Amino acid sequence: MLNTIAITTGEPAGIGPDITLMAAQQPWDAQLVAIGDAELLRQRAQLLQLDVSIEDYQPGQAATRHRPNHLAVLHTPLAEPVTPGKLNSNNARYVLNTLDIAIAGCLDGSFSAMCTAPVQKSVINDAGIPFSGHTEYLAEKTDTEHVVMMLATESLRVALATTHLPLSAVPAAITQESLSRTLHILHSDLTSKFGTANPCIAVLGLNPHAGEGGHLGREEIEVIEPLLQKLREQGLNLIGPLPADTAFNPSMLEQADAFLAMYHDQGLPVLKYAGFGEAINITLGLPIVRTSVDHGTALDLAGASTASDDSLRQAINGAIKIMSHNNRIKGNATIN
């Protein structure tokens, strides 16, 4: 079965269009469909001197394997022309329209998965549209009550118990109910999307030294450890809570299939140090498959031929691998 991967081209003034065009130069064992303004992509290809042919994609047409230097585009018009590197809040709705089209296509089966180029949260909020990030937006649009943000390299996976919250709001958000949902989703998706049997999950503490017996905070004693023990009794393979400063050691990296950090900047600096530009962001718990780059819009690099498409290529590869695994599972279920 040939998968169709939708690529949302992200903030039009950033490098999203650039890296989409760069990735289109490669062969892919899937159909790629870029969702964005076709003329913007033509202009950016010309600016970058990339020989990529922009072709009109018609929803419902039979899937064909991607050809290098060709890009099927589901045209979504900009509100106003774009200058690389210069944000324009009048195009904020355009960015969300590309996401809405990809989400709808994944839900109705037109697309197998979606990969997202980076968006600029600030300009969307400047347009008067509340927006805290892709993860939260996808959850809202798919009516998903609880999702998990996980970033991954070839050798390290880090999921988050909380996502885009001020640090002052994190402790109150760490509840047994929320952690239980997160860990069940992480366990389930590691099994179903990545084929990991009985995944081992290393859970970080919230406080320095994981609270040091309550002297540096009591969240580990009162919330995290009791919940982990309860989930172990239900069959989940959990380690922790671990002090965050020593958790990512060689022995634990070999043992754990994923780490759960309590907040954004607790786990992601380690992940991005290990694989910046090559890591991908995966939203777990959704009824659709979504992967993304691990970087921002890089406005200063837009249109300058200096951006790297490594992370987007990894995101596309990740989506294809997940869908290939899902297709094998479905095939085995049909045979059985």
Q: CA 3 to CA 65: how far, in whole Å?
A: 9
Instruction: Render pLDDT for 291-309 as a digit per residue (tens, 0 to 9).
Output: 999 899 999 999 999 999 9
- Residue 198 annotated in ligand binding: no
Interacting residues of 174 by C-beta distance below 8 A, sequence separation 6+: 161, 162, 206, 219, 223, 224, 262
Instruction: Render pLDDT for 132-145 as a digit per residue (tens, 0 to 9).
Output: 889 899 999 999 99
pLDDT of residue 329: 53
For residue 326, pLDDT beyond 50: yes
Q: How far is CA 320 from CA 6, 114, 284, 324, 331, in A?
A: 11, 10, 16, 6, 16
Of 328, 327, 316, the closest CA to residue 290 belongs to 316
pLDDT of residue 275: 84
pLDDT of residue 333: 44
- Residue 272 annotated in ligand binding: yes
Angle between helices 16-23 and 310-335 (to 10 degrees): 60
> For the chain, what is the radius of gyration of the CA atoms?
20
- Residue 66 annotated in ligand binding: no
Instruction: Render pLDDT for 200-254 as a digit per residue (tens, 0 to 9).
Output: 999 999 999 999 999 999 999 999 999 999 999 999 999 999 999 999 999 999 9
**191, 197 contact by CB (below 8 A):** yes
Q: What domains are defined for the chain?
A: 1-144+287-335 (3.40.718.10), 146-285 (3.40.718.10)
- Residue 290 annotated in ligand binding: yes
- Residue 264 annotated in ligand binding: yes
The upper half-sphere exposure of residue 35, i.e. CA atoms within 13 Å in the direction of its Cβ, equals 26
Q: Give the residue with greater pLDDT, 325 vs 225.
A: 225
Pairing of strands 157-160, 4-8: unpaired
Q: Which amino acid is at 258?
A: A
Q: Which range is least confidently modeled, 6-10, 79-83, 276-280, 290-294?
A: 276-280
- Residue 69 annotated in ligand binding: no
